[in-house]
Structure 1
Amino acid sequence: MKVYLSYLLDEQSVVWPGEPTVQIRQTTSIAQDGYNSFQAILPNHHGTHMDGPRHFNPNGPSLMELPIEYFCFDHVAAIDVPKSKGEGVTQDDLKAWESEIRSADLLLIKTGFCLQRDTQPRVYESEGPYLTPEACQYLVETFPDLRAIGLDFLSVGSPANQLSKRAHQILFGCHNGKFLPAIEDMDLRPLFSSGKQLKWVVAAPLRLSGIDSSQVTVIGELED
C-alpha cells in the first residue's frame, strides 16, 4: 500500500513561531471567467519540506544542486525513539539502532510527536522534540551511506532552547564538510497506525531556483 508521508499545506497549519504560512487565493473562477486558477505564496520552510545544506552552510549546496539520488530511497530505517515535548533525540538514542541505520539510505526518526500535531498545534510548534548537536555529529560522521533523515516533529531544532543553530550547522556540514539533508515536519502517522515498515520512499521537491530548501511531497510503499 502506498501512503503519503507529507502533510497537506494549509494556511492554518503549524509553523516555526513567527514564520509565515502558505497564502492561497483564487484569481479566476468558472462562474466569472470560465476557468479556475489560484495563486499561492509559499514560504519554503512551511509544512513538510527538505532542508538543503545551504540553509545554514554558505558553502553547502542548495537543495536543487543535490543529485536526484538524494530524493529516492530504497533502504529505509524507521526507528522508534519516543519523546515528549521539549525532549532531545540524543546520540545514545541513535546508538541503540546503529545496525539498522548503517544499512539505510534514509533514516526516519519516529518520536510519536506527529500524533499531537492536530490536537495540540501550539505545543507542536513551540515545544517539540529536537536533535541534539551531538546526535547530529554522530549521524554525519558515522554513516557514510546515509543520504537524508526525516523527522516526525517540526524541525531539527526547537524554539524551546538555544541549540537549534548549532545542530543545524553540524548537520549541514559547517564544521567538517559532511552533511545530511533533513526532511522536517514529516507525517509518519501511517507507520504508527499500520505497524509496517517501508519498502521505499520518494521525496519529490518543488523545483524552485535560487532557494536553499523546498517543500517535498513524500510518498512511500508499506510492506505487505
Structure 2
Amino acid sequence: MSYKFLSYKITKTSAVCPGAVRPVFEQTRHVTEGWAQNEWSITVPNHLGTHMDAPNHHYDGGIKIADLPMDRYVYEKPYIIDIPKGFNELITAEELKPYAEQIKQCDLLMLRTGHSRYHDTDEEIYGAKGPGVGSDAAEYLNKNFPNMRGIIMDFISLATYTDPDDGNKAHKWLLGEWSGHYSTIIEDATLEGLDNDTLVRVFSLPIRYGEVDSCQVSVLAEIRD
C-alpha cells in the first residue's frame, strides 16, 4: 500500500475564498535567541484550506467537529465521480443519477471537476470562480443514499460565489438540518491521480478543537500498489 495527501499545505499564500482572512504564522521563541525550543503562534480561520464542515456549521443543533463519530473520519468505501465543470457551474442531481448504484455502495463521495488545476496557478480563479454542488444535487444525495457519510470535492467550497443562497441550501441538505441523516463536507482538496480501481480507504483527521463547528483536516488516501 501507499499513501497520498489529499489536503493542501496551509501557507501564508494559500488560496482563500473572496474576502477571507489569511493565516498568520508568528514565531514567538527562537533557539537562536537562547530559548530551549522554537515555538509559533498560529492564527488560521477554521474554514480556510482543506477542511471539514460538520453539521454545526449551518445550524446550532448540529454536532460539532470534535464530537463526530469515528465513521466520519475513516471512509472504507470511497468512490470517485468525474464531472468536469467550468467556472461557477453547479453539479446537478441529473448528473449524479447515472451513478446511483455506485453511490449506494459508497460512504465517501468524491467529486472531481478538474478545478484543482487552478490551485497553484491562479488564486483568483480558484478562490472566486469555483464550481459548486447544487441544492437539488444535495437534496438528492441526502434523501436517497443513507450509506453516504461524507462528500469531498476538488474546489474551494460546496457553494459558488455567484449563488450563495443555493449554496446555503446545499449545505443544509447535506449537513442534515432538514432530515435525520447527514454527510460531512470536505472542501478544497486535491483528488488528482486517484483511481477507483486502486483507491482503498480515505482518512480525514481534524484537530479536535472542542468549541468550533468545523476545522482543517489532514486527508490521506490509502492506495493499492
TM-score bucket (shorter structure): over 0.9
Residues 196/20 of structure 1: CA separation in 2 closer, same or farther (3 Å cut): farther
Partner of 1:182: 185
Partner of 1:5: 6
Q: Which amino acid counterpart does residue 2 of structure 1 have in structure 2?
A: Y
Q: Which amino acid counterpart does residue 105 of structure 2 have in structure 1?
A: S
8 Å Cα contact 1:5-1:190 kept in structure 2: no
2: distance between equivalents of 1:85 and 1:144? 30
Partner of 1:60: 62
**Helix, strand or coil for the counterpart of 1:166?**
helix
User: 1:145-203 deviations in whole A, cap 9, x for unaligned?
Assistant: 11100011011101122322121122212222322110000111232xx7864101100
1:47 has 2:44 as partner: no
Unmatched runs of 5 consecutive residues or more in structure 1:
none
Q: Deviation at 1:68?
A: 1.1
Aligned match for 2:150, one of 128, 148, 151 = 148
Q: Deviation at 1:35?
A: 2.1
Q: Which amino acid counterpart does residue 203 of structure 1 have in structure 2?
A: S
8 Å Cα contact 1:44-1:215 kept in structure 2: yes
Name the % identity.
33
Equivalent residues in 2 for 1:86-97 (5 A)? 86-97=88-99
Equivalent residues in 2 for 1:23-172 (5 A)? 23-32=24-33, 33-162=35-164, 163-172=166-175
2: distance between equivalents of 1:160 and 1:196? 35
Unmatched runs of 5 consecutive residues or more in structure 2:
none
Q: Which moved more, 1:55-64 or 1:129-138?
A: 55-64
8 Å Cα contact 1:196-1:222 kept in structure 2: no
Residues 136/88 of structure 1: CA separation in 2 closer, same or farther (3 Å cut): same
**Helix, strand or coil for the counterpart of 1:97?**
helix
8 Å Cα contact 2:80-2:196 kept in structure 1: no
Q: Which moved more, 1:199-208 or 1:177-186?
A: 177-186
Q: Deviation at 1:98?
A: 1.2
Which aligned segments of 4 or more residues in structure 1 are displaced greater than 4 angstroms?
none
* TM-score, scaled relative to structure 1: 0.94
**Helix, strand or coil for the counterpart of 2:168?**
helix
Q: Which amino acid counterpart does residue 169 of structure 1 have in structure 2?
A: K
8 Å Cα contact 2:65-2:214 kept in structure 1: yes
Counting matched residue pairs gives: 222
**Helix, strand or coil for the counterpart of 1:190?**
coil
